[in-house]
């Protein structure tokens, strides 16, 4: 987002008029509505609110700020619009599996329309924390394990929220969060410690944030976690050296909820005053909800612990956001709230997004269903309006949420329904009998199982990530009837499905698909559209395997094909001597990039425009893909590269590009990628971003474990 002179002039003119109290007030964000908050507005002691969920309250608060304070500086109103507002789209992890930047951008645009109409100007999204630990509840909000994909999709979200003019009636300011490394929490426990070496920071965790900055994200949010012993909200390396000095970022940085005063609990600050000092000096421009800035900044300034220049810079960043949102000229939204909310076009878009987010993991030629099939709908998530939308769905209008049961019962299929269990975590099996009886009397059992919404999202990490409750037993009981089973899994994370995998004939991983979950599942199971989703996180066989991700290092003793299972022999002549497990395959249960369709696709060996490029050159890679089946599909073609030898060890594979390609039955398409040497850059031993010469492998493949590579070299 470019800084325009007129805005800077306006900022400085206003800044010169502001008292110290008014300046500190702009750095203060409060939540909700109460008498104290109203009093703070009147005193000019608050610059922003989150969670003012009644549009009339929002208008009243804005009127107070604009018309009853000395300078009339408008409030910026925020909300967590994470995957939709009233029309809930699939959770971000699901949306990421569409690999469809345009679809994701449009979904965020729709969310912005609905939220702006309800008085909000700013959303705390996209969440672009690289997530490689499915025990972590917030993997649900993430865009997966890969820096390139997370960066591309996060940028699409920024564009969708902000558009070309974030002040427009259908746009919001975006907020790239949580800076940085939140997903690397030890043990997958939320808010936990992270230790991230600088090279991993620069080559894995920061790139999505740089992509959001390049896409024009107006704001950023600091994380709860400590990073290498320094809390993220006091971290000069990330907040000043990276964000301001290296990236020249001129947006506004807000803390996370209480992350400033949590420095006391971290054992990093003696008290609230010291935590406020650390955050202000690190460059947290606005503090969320504790009021620590308003309480202590004046005293800190008087003591010389913070400077007026630091205060002024923070206030400039806050005012710049408000000018960029045109709030001084247009503080009140005058659009039609009801007109945009939950309109048919929004619901249709949510249904399309849900379809493209679901990933077909197994299909013993069971799907699509035949129109004449009788279907026994079974499972605790078959009719679960709130649970099917997943985490961060506080603005859901429950009756608008369409379940699988409702969708099938309004279709031409002959169906029966038995929940089998009252909820996903229920251990009461009295409902099994009806489920089993229905399965006996049907051609196909379609079972909708998984996690209720509360099992993922913030502070909801799990040590075991299998199907909760007695769902596995329910699936086994239904499968034992001999009726074919199609499993639909709704969850906020990859689950370890274990023995179930071999007992069912098809698995559609639906994640938490949102308001239109039911119609989207029906569309795919009935064959109206083929599944096209591809995994953006690796699925472990078991929780003991975590972390498992595709771009791993090779190690000095890489596992070999034969390295699996308990070896023969005795302790005297053990086999193996490689980095693998005795008791489980070292690779993912389902790898990054994987997903089936209702057809089959062949890939030619990639051809290259050249087998040698300079460190500033580029090449073009081609691959012919053919739909060898009789169903139209979308194929997500993925370009991977491996740097065989570096001055530091390099991953065995890295995603460098991808394309969604529509293929009619029998159609052959030539997919073309341009790969620049710069895309091969990484940070070397001296922490410089370099392109090194040497030999590389290149794959064009349907997922991260498929295909054979071709070689090329980079020459200085």
Q: How far is the CB of 257 from ligand GLC (least distance, A)?
A: 4
Extended beta strands in 311-413, E state: 359-363, 374-378
Site for ligand GLC in 290-329 (CB under 6 A): none
Q: Tokens 């196909």 appear where? A: 444
Compute the distance between CA of residue 709 and CA of residue 716 in angstroms, rounded to an integer: 23
Q: How far is the CB of 163 from ligand GLC (least distance, A)?
A: 21
- Of 177 and 322, the one with the shorter C-beta distance to ligand GLC is 177
Q: How far is the CB of 458 from ligand GLC (least distance, A)?
A: 6
- Of 80 and 356, the one with the shorter C-beta distance to ligand GLC is 80
Q: Using the rule CB under 6 A, which residue among 1, 44, 80, 150 binds ligand GLC?
A: 80
- Of 406 and 458, the one with the shorter C-beta distance to ligand GLC is 458
The reply on whether position 256 binds ligand GLC by CB under 6 A is yes
**How many Cβ atoms are within 10 Å of 345's Cβ, its own excluded?**
10
Q: How far is the CB of 92 from ligand GLC (least distance, A)?
A: 12
Site for ligand GLC in 535-564 (CB under 6 A): none
Contact 704, 651 (CB under 8 A): no
Q: Using the rule CB under 6 A, which residue among 61, 85, 124, 509 binds ligand GLC?
A: 124
Tell me which residue of 704, 583, 714, 603 sits closest to 655, measured CA to CA: 704
Contacts of 54 (CB under 8 A, 6+ apart): 33
Contacts of 420 (CB under 8 A, 6+ apart): 378, 379, 380, 431, 432, 434, 435, 447, 474, 478
Q: How far is the CB of 185 from ligand GLC (least distance, A)?
A: 12
Contacts of 339 (CB under 8 A, 6+ apart): 117
- Of 256 and 654, the one with the shorter C-beta distance to ligand GLC is 256
Question: Does residue 135 sit in helix, strand or coil?
Answer: coil
Contact 531, 597 (CB under 8 A): yes
Tell me which residue of 618, 620, 595, 601 sits closest to 609, measured CA to CA: 620
With CB atoms as reference, the residue minimizing the distance to ligand GLC is 124
**Facing residues of 378 across strands?**
418, 447
Largest Cα–Cα distance of the chain, in whole Å?
A: 84
Q: Using the rule CB under 6 A, which residue among 132, 177, 277, 351 binds ligand GLC?
A: 177
Q: How far is the CB of 226 from ligand GLC (least distance, A)?
A: 15
Contact 298, 24 (CB under 8 A): yes
Q: CA of 491: how far to CAs of 63, 140, 356, 599, in Å?
A: 42, 8, 16, 26
- Of 258 and 646, the one with the shorter C-beta distance to ligand GLC is 258
Q: Using the rule CB under 6 A, which residue among 8, 200, 230, 257 binds ligand GLC?
A: 257
Compute the distance between CA of residue 180 and CA of residue 227 in angstroms, rounded to an integer: 8
Per-residue binding letters, 211-250, with ligand GLC (x by CB under 6 A): ----------------------------------------
Q: How far is the CB of 98 from ligand GLC (least distance, A)?
A: 22
The reply on whether position 460 binds ligand GLC by CB under 6 A is no
Q: Using the rule CB under 6 A, which residue among 458, 476, 667, 705 binds ligand GLC?
A: 458
Total residues binding ligand GLC (CB under 6 A):
7
- Of 27 and 477, the one with the shorter C-beta distance to ligand GLC is 27
Per-residue binding letters, 46-65, with ligand GLC (x by CB under 6 A): ----x---------------
Compute the distance between CA of residue 443 and CA of residue 426 in angstroms, rounded to an integer: 27
Active site residue 256: yes
* Angle subtended at Cα 486 by Cα 136 and Cα 383, rounded to the nearest 5 degrees: 70
- Of 124 and 592, the one with the shorter C-beta distance to ligand GLC is 124
Q: How far is the CB of 539 from ligand GLC (least distance, A)?
A: 25
- Of 80 and 101, the one with the shorter C-beta distance to ligand GLC is 80
Contact 175, 183 (CB under 8 A): no
Residue of 129, 190, 203, 256 with catalytic role: 256
* Angle subtended at Cα 600 by Cα 599 and Cα 605, rounded to the nearest 5 degrees: 150
Binding site for ligand GLC (CB under 6 A): 50, 80, 124, 177, 256-257, 458
Active-site residue list: 256
């Amino acid at each position: 987002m470019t800084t325009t002179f007129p805005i800077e002039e306006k900022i400085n003119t206003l800044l010169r008029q502001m008292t110290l109290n008014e300046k500190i007030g702009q750095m203060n964000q409060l939540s909700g509505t109460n008498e104290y908050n109203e009093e703070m507005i009147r005193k000019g002691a608050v610059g922003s609110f989150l969670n003012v969920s009644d549009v009339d309250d929002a208008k009243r608060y804005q009127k107070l700020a604009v018309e009853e304070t000395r300078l009339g500086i408008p409030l910026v109103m925020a909300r967590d619009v994470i995957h939709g507002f009233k029309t809930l789209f699939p959770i971000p992890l699901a949306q990421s599996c569409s690999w469809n930047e345009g679809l994701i951008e449009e979904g965020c645009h729709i969310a912005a329309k609905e939220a702006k109409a309800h008085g909000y100007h700013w959303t705390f999204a996209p969440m672009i924390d690289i997530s490689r630990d499915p025990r972590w509840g917030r993997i649900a909000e993430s865009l997966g394990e890969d820096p390139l994909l997370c960066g591309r999709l996060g940028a699409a979200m920024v564009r969708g929220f902000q558009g070309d003019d974030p002040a427009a009636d259908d746009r919001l300011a975006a907020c790239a969060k949580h800076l940085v490394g939140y997903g690397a929490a030890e043990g997958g426990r939320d808010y936990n410690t992270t230790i991230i070496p600088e090279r991993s920071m620069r080559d894995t965790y920061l790139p999505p944030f740089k992509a959001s900055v390049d896409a024009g994200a107006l704001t950023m949010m600091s994380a709860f976690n400590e990073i290498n012993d320094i809390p993220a909200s006091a971290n000069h390396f990330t907040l000043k050296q990276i964000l301001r000095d290296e990236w020249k970022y001129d947006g506004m940085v807000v803390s996370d909820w209480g992350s400033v005063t949590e420095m006391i609990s971290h054992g990093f600050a003696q008290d609230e005053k010291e935590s406020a000092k650390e955050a202000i000096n690190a460059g947290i421009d606005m503090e969320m909800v504790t009021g620590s800035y308003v309480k202590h900044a004046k005293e800190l300034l008087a003591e010389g612990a913070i400077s007026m220049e630091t205060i002024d810079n923070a206030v400039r960043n806050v005012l710049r956001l408000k000018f960029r949102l045109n709030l001084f000229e247009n503080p009140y939204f005058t659009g039609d709230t009801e007109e945009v909310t939950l309109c048919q076009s929004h619901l249709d878009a949510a249904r399309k997004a849900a379809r493209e987010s679901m990933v077909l993991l197994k299909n013993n030629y069971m799907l699509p269903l035949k129109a004449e099939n009788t279907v026994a709908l079974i499972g605790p998530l078959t009719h679960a309006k709130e649970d099917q939308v997943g985490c961060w769905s506080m603005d859901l209008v429950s009756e608008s949420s369409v379940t699988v049961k409702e969708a099938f019962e309004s279709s031409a299929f002959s169906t029966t329904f038995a929940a089998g269990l009252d909820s996903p975590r229920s251990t009461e099996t009295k409902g099994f009998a009806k489920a089993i009886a229905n399965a006996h009397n049907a051609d196909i059992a379609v079972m909708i199982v998984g996690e209720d919404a509360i099992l993922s999202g913030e502070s909801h990490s799990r040590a075991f990530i299998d199907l909760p409750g007695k769902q596995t037993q329910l699936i086994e009981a239904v499968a034992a009837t001999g009726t074919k089973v199609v499993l639909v899994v709704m969850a906020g994370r990859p689950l370890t499905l274990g023995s179930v995998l071999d007992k069912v004939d098809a698995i559609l991983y639906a994640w938490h698909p949102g308001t239109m979950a039911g119609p989207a599942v029906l569309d795919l199971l009935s064959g109206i559209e083929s599944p096209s989703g591809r995994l953006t996180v690796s699925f472990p066989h078991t929780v003991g395997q975590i972390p498992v991700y595709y771009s791993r290092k090779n190690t000095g003793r890489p596992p070999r094909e034969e390295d699996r299972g308990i070896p023969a022999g005795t302790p005297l002549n053990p086999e193996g001597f490689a980095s693998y497990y005795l008791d489980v395959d070292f690779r993912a249960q389902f790898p990054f990039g994987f997903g089936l369709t209702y057809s089959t696709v062949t890939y030619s060996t990639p051809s290259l425009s050249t087998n040698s490029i300079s460190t500033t050159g580029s090449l073009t890679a081609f691959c012919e893909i053919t739909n060898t089946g009789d169903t139209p599909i979308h194929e997500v073609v993925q370009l991977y590269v491996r740097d065989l030898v570096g001055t530091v060890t390099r991953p065995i594979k890295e995603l460098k590009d991808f394309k969604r390609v529509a293929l009619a039955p029998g159609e052959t398409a030539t997919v073309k990628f341009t790969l620049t040497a710069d895309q091969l850059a990484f940070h070397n031993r001296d922490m410089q971003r370099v392109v090194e010469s040497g030999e590389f492998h290149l794959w064009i493949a349907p997922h991260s474990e498929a295909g054979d590579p071709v070689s090329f070299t980079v020459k200085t």
